[in-house]
A and B are shown apart, each in its own frame.
Chain A
């Protein structure tokens, strides 16, 4: 069964450093998402991406965040200058072409900012 993959599974970084989180969505999907989940809390929407551009973003997704789809398979989230409060689990998700398809989540990347 196709699945969303994410690397690395765990990233530890120093405050102020840049990190890039990697995702490979399901191959025929058209909508891509990043979410974050602070430990024990709810899943928070960060950004959605469709047709090679951001379609929606939340207040969390400020100028320190950016997304790219550099080729036909990868979908990356970059945090330019990490802060302690960026420590969280980051989930990538994708869904197919129909507007109401289910989202498939990846296993997540746990980001720890020291």
Chain B
């Protein structure tokens, strides 16, 4: 079945440093979504990417979808303590449900 992997599993950064998490799928995706889960909270939708090579920005967050639609990345510029949480990608391979990656847990040291 479809597998979605993410690296790194954990990332500790100093406030102000950049952060990137990478997502890879074993199959071609129709689209990919990114979610953020704060400690003790529930996943909150961040963005959806649909087109091959698509790049979207939300303030300090930049999301990319690979040309082959099998990989994606999330980059945060100049991290802040409010960025703390686990970032999940979720891939849809033309079905009606999404397969979540294991997540990257981000810690930001003030």
Contact = CB atoms under 8 A, between A and B. Distances in A.
Interface of A: 31, 33, 35, 41-45, 48, 50, 55-56, 91, 99-100, 102-108
Identify whether the interface residues of A are mostly helix, strand, loop, or mixed: strand
A45 B42 contact: no
> Interface residue tally of chain B, by bracket?
20 to 34
B96 A44 contact: no
B66 interface: no
A104 B45 CA distance: 7
B88 interface: yes
Contact of B88 (A43, A48, A50, A107): A43
Contacts of B100: 35, 42-45
Given A43-B43, A44-B100, A45-B99, 14 more contacts: A31-B96, A33-B97, A35-B100, A42-B102, A48-B96, A56-B95, A56-B97, A100-B30, A102-B48, A103-B33, A105-B42, A105-B43, A107-B42, A108-B42
Contacts of B101: 42
A102 B45 CA distance: 7
Interface in B52-110: 88, 90, 92, 95-103
Interface of B: 30-31, 33, 35, 37, 41-45, 48, 50, 88, 90, 92, 95-103
Contact of A100 (B44, B48, B99, B103): B48
Contact of A91 (B30, B42, B48): B42
A108 B45 CA distance: 15
B96 A50 contact: yes
Contacts of A31: 96
B29 to A, nearest CB: 11
* Interface hub of B33, B41, B97 (most chain A Cβ within 10 A): B97
